[in-house]
Structure 1
Amino acid sequence: MPAGAPAYLDAEAVHRLAPFGPLVEALREAHLRPPPAAERLLMSQPNGAGQDDHFLVWPAWRPGAAFGAKLVSVFPGNAAQGRPAIDGIYALFDGRDGAPACIIDGPALTFRKTAADSALAASLLARPDARRLAILGAGGQAIWQVRALAAVRPLAEATIWNRTADKAERLAAALRRDGLAATATDDPRAAVEGADIVSCVTGATEPVLQGAWLSPGAHVDLVGSYTPAMREADDEAVRRARVFVDTRRFTLADSGDIAQPLASGEIAPSHVLGDLFELAQGTVPGRLAPHDVTLFKNAGGGHLDLICAEFLFARHKAEQIRAERLRAENDPPG
């Protein structure tokens, strides 16, 4: 690599450098500070198959430290051709002089960031003894959600539902290899009833989760909806829960799970009790009693991508320093 060229972290490097325990802790520590400035741009075009293709740009800036942007394409029709539906890159810059510092594989960063965001929320909202997990959706993000949640709660079993049954079976098999007692079902209600944590990881535009299915004390993790037209949970699920978001700015208007019940009057803005910064800092209470149903809407945001990109780049530099030191120790004297 030419001198001064930015580093490149491929998917393998991202997953190696970001085990969920340290990554969730880094997110927790970052939420004790003021949030980085962040924006969001979403462009869409009809793809002729009843869905839209999307181009998303999520920039963020932590003054004096770092800034960057994630560039993401979402082409749902790619799945039928055996190609990734989601692709992209993250570009990280040095906040002191503006120099490009690192290019990071976008899907891997998104997998890790999204899952760690949910895991941080679960560590603050889910019951400490949560053992039973329901997963609605078995796409590429699902396995990372399970692994991240397992890093913060003593999960022992998981039940997976997906519209395509064979994908649910494949995810269950992968989770069994991870040591989790995992099974697939063709009934979403059967997956949800009795679950301590329910994680929805779908591209649904109509609810796949009904609030009537939730057991007292359940924690709901909604991941999939990132436009006002997308939705995973029905009004009852939102209405009966203590609701929290990662940030109000990118959730109240942009995620159908919150935007739609707000628009219909099913809930008021005050029904959203707090965000991750307030939860992490202890300025709003999360779970008040073991029987509370809690709900976290994971809408993401450029600030989270920046936090994770900084974490990855710092660990990459530390890895390089260790490798150089080891080479120096092993080189014979000249």
Structure 2
Amino acid sequence: MHVFDAAAVHAALPWPFLIEALRKAHLGDMPASEVVVQSDPAGGEAQFVTLPGWAPGGPIVVKMVGVFPQNASLTPPQPAVQGLVALFDGKTGGPLLAADGAAMTARKTAADSALGAAILARQDVEELLIVGAGALAPHFAAAHLAARPTLRRVAIWNRTAARAEAVAVQLREQDIDATVSGDLDAAVARADVVSCVTMSDTALVKGALLRPGTHLDLVGAYLPTLREADDAALMRGTIFVDSRNNMRGGGDLSQAVASGAITWDAVKADLFELVQGKREGRVSADQITVFKNNGGAHLDLFTASALSQALG
């Protein structure tokens, strides 16, 4: 059995390789998957999540991660999501590999959104806005740049400017043109691609400010109580999701449905339908596209399988 620490995971899964691996994986059927969520028995906001997934005739994955939002305030900060991902042989049940959960989560989550941008964003996008400066932010910037090479500039916004600057410095060390934006509304109005990676419980992105042709990537609102974009953003945009299986759990869509701003029929396609050509993606340069990244064990399975393939 192979064991991958965080550095080995990142080294083995370069963005172009992983994005293409996810694209190919979506040509097949949705694996069987489950989600088991346990809340802190002491009453805290932390959760522990177990996600098993099993591809028909293929491997089995089990992701075991803690979600500890307070980790960002630790000294030094730690990822809010960390744990382990294990891959097993689907025929014998034998273990094939174990990998660092935080690194695998960062890699698969960013590549999921990057695949969405590769399909849905305009061909001539130039400015990327990352909303949020947590552990995932630099990965999302790099993944989007790999998916859309025309992107030339990255702006980072965060409620705490110092954290945004730390991410910008990290990106500049990779020769990425990255700056901090102090005005979220102005940054949204300028951006061609807006990627939200926060745990906000109030809408941050105002749909009225989105330029025609913008691609909006919503990632962080994985609970019904969380929200990253307002109703106007969802009403103005054409909505796509990574998976229809998981789309009702996040706050961005479920709150907009509850308010009557949209119905579930507003979701035009998921990645399986887009990759397989069953549904149409972007149809015009002025269309605003909204991609809701919900995650799921199937993506952990696809990413762990790609990691296994990288072994040769």
Give the TM interval when normalised to the shorter protein: over 0.9
* Counterpart mapping for 1:57-76 below 5 A: 57-76=50-69
Q: Deviations over 1:13-49 (max 9, x none)?
A: 101110010110111011111111111122223876x
Matched, 1:198 2:194: yes
Aligned counterparts, 1:211-226, within 5 A: 211-226=207-222
The 10-residue stretch of structure 1 (194-203 or 62-71) with the greater mean CA deviation from structure 2:
62-71
- Is residue 78 of structure 1 aligned with residue 71 of structure 2? yes
- Return the TM-score normalized by structure 2: 0.96
Number of the residue aligned with 1:3: none
User: Partner of 2:223 in structure 1?
Assistant: 227
Q: Tell me if structure 2 keeps the 8 A contact 1:47–1:53.
A: no
Cα shift readout 1:126-183 (whole Å, capped 9, x = no counterpart): 0011110111101110111110110111210011110110011111122222222211
Instruction: Percent identity, please.
Output: 47
Q: Is the 2:39–2:47 Cα contact (8 Å) retained in structure 1? A: yes
Map of 1:1-334 to 2, 5 A cutoff? 6-45=1-40, 52-82=45-75, 83-84=77-78, 85-153=80-148, 154-252=150-248, 254-316=249-311, 318=312
Q: Which has the larger radius of gyration?
A: 1
Contact 2:81/2:105, CA 8 A, preserved across alignment: no
Of 83-92 and 196-205, the range deviating more from structure 2: 83-92
Q: Is the 8 A contact 1:135 1:191 kept in 2?
A: no
Measured at CA, do residues 47 and 182 of structure 1 come closer, stay the same or move farther in structure 2, by a change above 3 Å? Answer: farther
Distance of 1:159 and 1:235 partners within structure 2: 24
How many corresponding residue pairs?
309
Q: How far 1:114 moved relative to its partner?
A: 0.5
SS of equivalent to 1:57: strand
Deviation at 1:65, TM superposition (A): 1.7
Gaps of at least 5 residues in structure 2 are none
Shift of 1:276: 0.4
Length-normalised TM-score, structure 1 = 0.90
- Alpha-carbon RMSD across the aligned residues, in angstroms, is 1.3
Structure 1: 4+ residue segments shifted above 4 A: none
* AA at the equivalent of 2:277: G
Counterpart code for 2:96: A
2:36 and 2:51 in contact (8 A); partners too: yes
Deviation at 1:12, TM superposition (A): 0.9
The 1-side partners of 2:42 and 2:210 are apart by 36
Instruction: Provide the C-alpha distance between the structure 1 equivalents of 2:263 and 2:100, rounded to a whole number of angstroms.
Output: 39
Q: Deviations over 1:254-311 (max 9, x none)?
A: 1001111112221011101110000111111111110000000001000000010011
The structural deviation recorded for 1:122 is: 0.4
Q: Distance in 2 between matches of 1:46 and 1:91?
A: 25
